[in-house]
Amino acid sequence: MRIPRPIRRLSLPTVLALAAGCASSPPPGRVYVVDRPPPPRYELVPVAPGPRYVWVPGRWQRAGNGWAWASGRYIAPPSRYRGWTPGAWYHGRRGWYYVEGHWQ
């Protein structure tokens, strides 16, 4: 395939910027899927490795055309945070999307 001469004169960053403007994309960090995620799995929560650790439950994530379970884990909170708000799946006009958990 031959690239037209005017296009060949553009720099790579310019070509990439033009190409990125051609596609409609979701909000930053948000990926939509068509099918609903499976119901959450029940996990046996092990003993915390320390007094300040918080259990972050597992969740379903996309893996190719299917779903894969990401097991829960303990995490230590950063200083000055009170609690953990778990992530959750939501349904919008474009399909299902996941909002990551965060510290409050």
Predicted local distance difference test score (pLDDT) of residue 13? 47
Predicted local distance difference test score (pLDDT) of residue 2? 55
Predicted local distance difference test score (pLDDT) of residue 72? 94
Contacts 24+ apart (CB under 8 A), 4-12: none
Tens place of pLDDT per residue across the chain (104 aa):
555 555 445 454 444 444 444 444 455 667 888 888 999 899 999 999 998 888 999 999 888 889 999 999 999 888 877 788 888 999 999 999 989 888 88
Residues 6+ apart with CB under 8 A from 74: 46, 48, 49, 53, 54, 55, 56
Predicted local distance difference test score (pLDDT) of residue 49? 94
Predicted local distance difference test score (pLDDT) of residue 52? 85
Residues 6+ apart with CB under 8 A from 68: 60, 61, 62
Question: Rounded CA gap, 48 and 44, in Å?
Answer: 12
Predicted local distance difference test score (pLDDT) of residue 29? 64
Question: Quick one: 77 exposed, middle or buried, by C-beta within 10 A (0-12, 13-18, 19+)?
Answer: middle
Predicted local distance difference test score (pLDDT) of residue 19? 45
Predicted local distance difference test score (pLDDT) of residue 16? 43
